[in-house]
């Protein structure tokens, strides 16, 4: 369910400058993100890292590469928002999966409570928000 949203003027964001990187830097970006999600339960952290990877990968594939990775983790309720800024102008869309792709944004759509895109003069911000499922494995700091 895509909607417009921005991180501007919202407290609690951590950012990583990934401008000028290539896809070989995905592992480093995921490690950076994981190091900032230590309060999350294992399953929640793995889902969030999957979102990080998919949004970064899509920025490399469709938007000339990401510019910035943004994370925000909150407790009570336990929630993670992942956002990737890029310089692309295209609109992310769900595709029919095929041999050569079309699954990434579907994964984001299935895992996230909400996801969307905000367009700006210098590109766009694609984001996804997921919440810990309390019945499965509550995050330690949120329980």
Q: Where are the domains of the chain?
A: 2-131
Q: What average pLDDT is seen over the chain? A: 82
pTM: 0.83
Tell whether the model's pLDDT for residue 2 goes beyond 50: no
Identify the residue with better confidence: 1 or 11: 11
Fold of 2-131: Heat Shock Protein 90 (3.30.565)
In the structure, what pLDDT confidence band is assigned to residue 40 with cuts at 50, 70 and 90? confident
- Are the C-beta atoms of residues 29 and 57 closer than 8 Å to each other? no
pLDDT tens track for 116-139: 999 988 899 999 999 876 555 556
- Tokens representing residue 17 in the block: 């400058």
- Tokens representing residue 7 in the block: 């991180």
**What H or E segment, with its residue span, contains residue 17?**
strand 14-17
Residue 96: exposed, middle, or buried by beta-carbon count in 10 A (0-12, 13-18, 19+)?
exposed
For residues 29 and 4, give the distance between their C-alpha atoms in angstroms, rounded to a whole number: 25
Q: What percent of the chain has pLDDT over 90?
A: 37
In the structure, what pLDDT confidence band is assigned to residue 1 with cuts at 50, 70 and 90? very low
Determine how β-strand 79-86 pairs with β-strand 123-131: antiparallel
């Amino acid at each position: 369910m895509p909607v417009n949203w921005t991180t501007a003027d919202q407290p609690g964001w951590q950012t990583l400058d990934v401008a000028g990187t290539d896809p070989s830097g995905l592992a480093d970006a995921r490690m950076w993100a994981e190091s900032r999600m230590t309060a999350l339960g294992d399953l929640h952290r793995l889902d969030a890292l999957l979102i990080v990877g998919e949004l970064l990968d899509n920025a490399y594939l469709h938007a000339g590469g990401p510019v910035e990775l943004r994370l925000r983790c909150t407790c009570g309720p336990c929630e993670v928002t992942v956002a990737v800024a890029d310089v692309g102008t295209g609109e992310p869309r769900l595709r029919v999966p095929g041999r050569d792709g079309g699954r990434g944004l579907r994964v984001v759509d299935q895992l996230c409570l909400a996801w969307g895109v905000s367009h700006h003069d210098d590109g766009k911000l694609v984001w996804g928000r997921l919440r810990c499922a309390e019945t499965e494995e509550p995050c330690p700091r949120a329980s």
